[in-house]
Amino acid sequence: MSGPEGTRSSRRSLQVKFVPDEDVLKHIADDAGTKLRKDKAQLSVSMKRFVKKLENISDNEAQEILEEKNYVAALGICAQDPVGNGSNISGGEVYSFQTPKRSSKMAELASELAQTPEQNVAPDHSKCSEKMAKTPQSSNERDVSSSNACFFFAVQSKKKEFVSTTPYRLRKRLAAADPYLESESEYSASCSEEEDEEDQKEVSIVLSSQKTPGKTKAASTPPPRNSLAKKIKEQKMGNLVEEYFEAHSSSKVLTSDRTLQKFRKRRLNQQTLHDLLKKAPLAYAAEIRDLNHQHESLFSKWMLQLHLGFNIVLYGLGSKRDLLEKFRTSLLQDSVHLVVNGYFPSITVRSILNSITEEVLDHIGTFRSPVDQLEFIIKRFKEDSSLELYVLIHNLDSQMLRGERSQQILAQLSSLPSIYLIASIDHINAPLMWDQAKLSLYNWLWYETTTFSPYVEETSYENSLLVQQSGSLALSSLMHVLHSLTLNARGIFRLLAQHQLEKKDNPSYPGLSFQDFYQQCREAFLVNSDLTLRAQLTEFRDHKLIRTKRGADGVEYLLIPVDDSTLTDFLEKEDEDV
């Protein structure tokens, strides 16, 4: 069924084999050609068979489909909820694959959004229709899914428009203001690839686009009454698969080459970022407050349900920290409770268990393993029925806690009748952490608490992409370590840093080879034998100041794993000191 895949794999296998060169050439030319043709033929044949099979669909299957539909209907029943999630969205819309769009699309959308007239004015229809025309696939999806069928025919042929011809209006506009940017080429592939691979890809795309019309035609022939649903579903599946492989057909992604450095935008550090955001007014504060009030009215219900043996998990967009904090301060003041900041980068299950044993149970002593510790806790809580503990976990799905073992331990902890757990999750895939066994231990009740509040605390620890946090941190640690070393050692490090900075324009700089480095150090009277240098390097490596890499020729290369700007700063500071 899947053309692109087939051809690709056959090509791969040919590359692996060892055969004389000319043979290879001939082979590839011949074989690939015939393969393609054959595949096409097979495709149409299998297509026919496929349709036949569908038409002969048995009553049984039809029954199944009906049942399934009932299920969807039953689960889809969603009356007006006070808070209400929008479950009128079919799964297809949430999870569907999308064809890769070019980044110009983003600029386009941005300019479109920017041009949107005042919202209080009724939307004028000409603009609306223009927009519909521009994004045919999304409008199509929306129409069908809004009808009861909730399946969508993704119009394949429309999506095949790979080369977007729309001018990059916005880009031009912005670029004109910045001549520095205009001078360079706009786009390049992220990795260089041979021409023939591109050709191959082209072929596969043609193949898949040829396949699609055939398929849609097959589906449009009047099918028997009952198999229609099934067929639509099959088709949808087929399209999804194609789209997936289309999106991943090559490792090449076309994006612009612009970087933040060239953008001449200084990176903000954590503190200024924080200050700036504090100054910026929070949008829709009143509405957000309303939302929070709605959630706060549920507090007593949460308490009741916690006491009845359920545990509570909160989900939805927006930080739930303040909400939980409010819950804590308003209802838990008279009881023992434990607050766990899951987003904290160094939190572990061990520390959670430790704080329970040491501070709640007043136990002094250590445990061999978390499991032992858990057993001890369980025993204590079972023995003493007057013990009660509320556990609040912000971000149960954080990096440190999402592991299988941590979740198992937390689940077992939460299954104790006198431990009440209330937790929040944010990651879209967070529910995948739990299998049936853990779910039954947790005994969750789900509450949707969309707050739209910014994740201030949660993201502050993150090594964010745009924040210059790592730089300042690395710099201070560099200084600290270096100051504790001997003068010679500092000199050695300086040499390496300087060398690295000299080569900063060379993107494929592998590092300084050990022999060269030794030579330089000798010349600067920093070391007298390569053994002393090695000892020094070991010390650096232990402090993670340098990284060594063995090149293809077996030579050892040394590299400082810090970005150039930090290194420059470091050298400047060093100069000041000296």
Closest CA to 449 of 414, 422, 424: 424
If one asks whether residue 509 binds other proteins (CB under 8 A), the answer comes out as: no
> Which helix (H) or strand (E) element contains residue 423?
strand 419-424
Buried b (16+ CB within 10 A) or exposed e, 335-357: eebbebbbbbeebebeebbbebb
Contact flags string 401-430 toward other proteins, x per CB under 8 A: -------x---------x------xxxxxx
Q: Are 28 and 14 in contact (CB under 8 A)?
A: yes
Distance, in Å, from the CA atom of 155 to the CA atom of 450, rounded to the nearest integer, reads 34
Q: Determine if residue 314 is left, alpha or beta; phi over 0 gives left, psi from -120 to 50 gives alpha, anything else beta.
A: beta
Q: How far is the CB of 350 from other proteins (least distance, A)?
A: 10
If one asks whether residue 162 binds other proteins (CB under 8 A), the answer comes out as: no
By CB under 8 A, name the one of 28, 109, 149, 555 that touches other proteins.
109
Helix (H, G, I), strand (E, B) or coil at 403: coil
31/462 with CB nearer other proteins? 462
> Which helix (H) or strand (E) element contains residue 421?
strand 419-424
If one asks whether residue 206 binds other proteins (CB under 8 A), the answer comes out as: no
By CB under 8 A, name the one of 19, 41, 45, 89 that touches other proteins.
89
Q: Exposed, middle or buried, 28 (CB in 10 Å: 0-12/13-18/19+)?
A: middle
Q: How far is the CB of 417 from other proteins (least distance, A)?
A: 10
Neighbours of 493 (CB within 10 A): 23
By CB under 8 A, name the one of 43, 207, 291, 416 that touches other proteins.
291
Residue 250 gets which letter from DSSP?
-
Neighbours of 185 (CB within 10 A): 7
Q: How far is the CB of 27 from other proteins (least distance, A)?
A: 33
Under rule CB under 8 A, which residues in 243-272 are in contact with other proteins?
A: 244, 247-248, 253-263, 265, 268, 272
326/573 with CB nearer other proteins? 326
If one asks whether residue 163 binds other proteins (CB under 8 A), the answer comes out as: no
- Output the six-digit token pair for 379: 């025993």
Which positions ≥6 away from 45 have C-beta within 8 Å?
Answer: none
If one asks whether residue 459 binds other proteins (CB under 8 A), the answer comes out as: yes
If one asks whether residue 308 binds other proteins (CB under 8 A), the answer comes out as: yes
If one asks whether residue 367 binds other proteins (CB under 8 A), the answer comes out as: no
If one asks whether residue 368 binds other proteins (CB under 8 A), the answer comes out as: yes
Closest CA to 457 of 393, 402, 394, 397: 394
Contact flags string 174-203 toward other proteins, x per CB under 8 A: x--xx-----------xx------------
Q: φ, ψ for residue 444 (rounded to 5)?
A: -70, 150
If one asks whether residue 126 binds other proteins (CB under 8 A), the answer comes out as: no
If one asks whether residue 160 binds other proteins (CB under 8 A), the answer comes out as: no
Closest CA to 162 of 249, 33, 256: 249
| CA-based max dimension of the chain | 90
Distance, in Å, from the CA atom of 28 to the CA atom of 8, rounded to the nearest integer, reads 12
> Which helix (H) or strand (E) element contains residue 113?
helix 104-115
Q: Which range, of 20-28, 464-472, 484-492, 522-530, touches other proteins by CB under 8 A?
A: 464-472
Helix (H, G, I), strand (E, B) or coil at 189: strand
If one asks whether residue 71 binds other proteins (CB under 8 A), the answer comes out as: yes
The amino acid at residue 482 is L
Buried b (16+ CB within 10 A) or exposed e, 285-321: eeebeebbeebeebeeebbebbeeebbbbbbbebbbb
25/72 with CB nearer other proteins? 72
Contact flags string 466-505 toward other proteins, x per CB under 8 A: xx--------------------------------------
107/492 with CB nearer other proteins? 107
Instruction: Sort strands 512-513 and 444-448 into parallel, antiparallel or unpaired.
Output: unpaired
The amino acid at residue 438 is K
145/212 with CB nearer other proteins? 145
If one asks whether residue 535 binds other proteins (CB under 8 A), the answer comes out as: no
Find the distance separating the first CA and the last CA of the chain, reported in whole Å: 70
237/317 with CB nearer other proteins? 317
Under rule CB under 8 A, which residues in 27-46 are in contact with other proteins?
A: none
If one asks whether residue 464 binds other proteins (CB under 8 A), the answer comes out as: yes
If one asks whether residue 152 binds other proteins (CB under 8 A), the answer comes out as: no
By CB under 8 A, name the one of 120, 183, 185, 221 that touches other proteins.
120
Q: How far is the CB of 182 from other proteins (least distance, A)?
A: 13
By CB under 8 A, name the one of 24, 332, 479, 571 that touches other proteins.
332
Under rule CB under 8 A, which residues in 378-397 are in contact with other proteins?
A: 388
Q: How far is the CB of 270 from other proteins (least distance, A)?
A: 10
Distance, in Å, from the CA atom of 29 to the CA atom of 32, rounded to the nearest integer, reads 6
Distance, in Å, from the CA atom of 530 to the CA atom of 538, rounded to the nearest integer, reads 12
Placement of tokens 């899914």 in the chain: 145
Q: Which range, of 26-34, 451-459, 510-518, 522-530, touches other proteins by CB under 8 A?
A: 451-459
Residues pairing with 512 in the sheet: 558
Q: Which range, of 73-81, 225-233, 526-534, 549-557, touches other proteins by CB under 8 A?
A: 73-81
By CB under 8 A, name the one of 16, 114, 133, 552 that touches other proteins.
114
Helices (H) and strands (E) in the chain, counts: 26, 10
If one asks whether residue 445 binds other proteins (CB under 8 A), the answer comes out as: yes
By CB under 8 A, name the one of 336, 366, 515, 519 that touches other proteins.
336
Q: Which range, of 197-205, 213-221, 333-341, 546-554, touches other proteins by CB under 8 A?
A: 333-341
Q: How far is the CB of 55 from other proteins (least distance, A)?
A: 21
> At CA 97, angle to CA 399 and CA 238, rounded to 5?
130
Q: Which range, of 50-58, 91-99, 215-223, 486-494, touches other proteins by CB under 8 A?
A: 91-99
Q: How far is the CB of 403 from other proteins (least distance, A)?
A: 13
